[in-house]
A and B are shown apart, each in its own frame.
Chain A
Amino acid sequence: MSGKTLYDKLWDAHLVKERADGSCLIYIDRHMLHEVTSPQAFEGLRLAGRKPWRIDANLATVDHNVPTTGRENGVEGIEDPISRTQVQTLDANCNEFGIVEYGMSDQRQGIVHVIGPEQGATLPGMTVVCGDSHTSTHGAFGALAHGIGTSEVEHVLATQCLVQQKSKNMLVQVDGELKPGITGKDVMLAIIGKIGTAGGTGYAIEYAGSAIRSLSMEARMTMCNMSIEAGARAGMVAVDDKTIDYVKDRPMAPKGEMWERAVESWRELKSDDDADFDKVVHLDAADIEPQVSWGTSPEMVTNVGDRVPDPANESDPIKREGMERALKYMGLEPNTPMTGIKLDRIFIGSCTNARIEDLREAASILKGQTIASSLKQAMVVPGSGMVKAQAEREGLDRIFLDAGFEWREPGCSMCLGMNPDQLGEGEHCASTSNRNFEGRQGFGGRTHLVSPAMAAAAAIHGHFVDISDYYDRAG
């Protein structure tokens, strides 16, 4: 009999019951909540007269709707009345049910997938769910983490369980050494470009190999975060010393003897050497170039040194039509050099790339530089109040401000533009977020997904540049 994958181990450890029809009840250790996908779930609980099963497994914050300026007036300062109501509704629900919430004026407030790891609310070996598809982020800790819909938010609140079917196992193995300036974001975009946005559908992905081991926890979070963009609900990385070091001394991490016991258990959170995967994908780290998306799906991505692809070269008619539609929406001609695309805005932020290392990386490029005068706006939105404070201690805010960036308050911001931070029609944006869908960042807005370093360099030049040249020069 072959060994178990990391996913198999996490699944087995959380299996409450397998029912006669083959459906399984899986126990949920951590449930994160935010204002957009929870109000109907709380309302459902009230209507059915149900109570949360286990209050202390829940942690809430407001992130999607919150403005990134003018926060001194708190919730009352949210100008859009519908957004304000949604934020107030979460406050009221958490108050009513006794759930811990980091509200708008709490320094621990931030993007839900940034604050979980930051507070030690995300621990190795946990099952973590949230009404948000980027919950896959937390898998970087050797956890089983995925997004759920609002009905399942209600289900978890009421039962601490989910009804699940087991996914298949996929291994994405990235070996070798990454070139200077190549980040977790580039690796992940390259993976999505290779397997497609549906390549991981039905699978839980484990990222492994020497290149993944060399990545920091935050870079691993960036990769796991975008598992959903590869179609997989969950992505994960085995526990190693970096995982343990990152978790140690976080506010909600175990302490003392309990810590020692936990670490001993976490060391087992890796796939067995003889584990079988249903699908294996290999990438050579040395081949990965800085990535930029050109279209309206994260799989529509290419090397910064390449050109916008030509649909005429695509033989599949459905794909060709999709490419043509994407190019029309993006206002791009086939065969345009990626470095020739003129940019209007730069967004550094989101649950994918708004952690301290992301800001350090971008600031290292921007130090002593100024952004191109052709840009309408460049903004940095830290992932949490804690990230913001840390960056300010390190003086990163000054670097961004001196370069001409705006330095904002934490939230999801322009990743999806539920708050006032949006692209205008036809505007091209270099964005460190995760989705380049039509209209995602604003009606008619045109998103190009990149790493923080690529976004920073693009800000200086007003168009994309090859960050590896930049590192060679700097290095």
Chain B
Amino acid sequence: MKAFTKHTGLVAPLDRSNVDTDMIIPKQFLKSIKRTGFGPNLFDELRYLDEGQPGKDNSQRPLNPDFILNQARYQGASVLLARANFGCGSSREHAPWALEDFGFRAIIAPSFADIFYNNCFKNGLLPLVLKEEEVDELFRAVESVEGYALTVDLENQTVSTPDGKVYHFEVDEFRRHCLLNGLDDIGVTLEDADAISAYEARRKQEAPWLFPAG
């Protein structure tokens, strides 16, 4: 997994709450058996005016000029500023895959849906929670200043604005450690293989019906 330590990037504001993972990447693109290539269809139904399909040439499709990611000032954005309950709905990991593939490295919101939040960390994408009023301040700043960029520092758990304001965010220690070091968490878990085996041995005594194969 790609590590995340510190990132400075252009911010794109997505000003709507309850953005669901169907909206982030619609169902027809979930038929892929790969982890990559979802970026061109990120927010497909918001971004284009027609219906997208796998294999369709996206460069020929009509763009929705009102959608932020189609606007010149947000080209190259790598930090997404979002509203409450971002990533709700389906557990599809294709959502963080699409965001990452598009070029986002961090998402800032007042709250995230649990499964989406967890999925992001597995893909080098940092979802971070700031207070509602801090997110409001950032929305106002991004909309008023063209080229507005933020620096996200995972080591120090801070978001810094161009005018020197610093916001602090919380992240649990294990996720932070894995993301900072780009660790494969399966490898980390397998270091505890003996503990897993010991648990199974004990559990087979307590609840043998859970182990019908013995």
Contacts and interface: CB of A to CB of B under 8 A. Distances in A.
A192 B123 CA distance: 30
Interface string A78-96: 0010110110010000000
Contact of A155 (B17, B35, B185, B207): B185
Given A165-B172, A202-B114, A27 B18 contact: no
The contact size tier of chain B is 35 or more
Contact of B16 (A82, A265, A325): A325
Contact of A37 (B92, B177, B211): B92
Contacts of A16: 192, 195-196, 199
Contacts, number: 194
Contacts of A132: 90-91
Given A25-B192, A417-B27, A149 B122 contact: yes
The contact size tier of chain A is 35 or more
Contacts of A261: 208-209
Contacts of B89: 133, 228, 435, 437
B189 A439 contact: no
A258 B209 contact: yes
Given A318-B17, A443-B45, A150 B113 contact: no
Contact of A443 (B34, B51, B188): B51
A40 B91 contact: no
A368 interface: no
Contact of B190 (A29, A159, A265): A159
A21 B114 contact: no
B174 A19 contact: yes
B31 A155 contact: no
B26 interface: yes
Contacts of A159: 186, 189-190, 193, 196
B105 interface: no
Nearest to A40: B35
Interface string B157-201: 000000000000000111001000000111011101101100110
Given A149-B91, A152-B122, A438 B22 contact: yes
A65 B31 contact: yes
Contact of B212 (A48, A126, A158, A252): A252
B16 A322 contact: yes
9 contacts: A16-B192, A22-B173, A25-B195, A25-B196, A148-B91, A159-B190, A233-B115, A438-B45, A440-B22
Given A125-B207, A321-B16, 17 more contacts: A21-B172, A22-B173, A25-B189, A25-B195, A56-B213, A149-B91, A158-B189, A159-B193, A163-B185, A228-B89, A258-B209, A265-B207, A318-B83, A435-B20, A435-B90, A439-B22, A439-B26
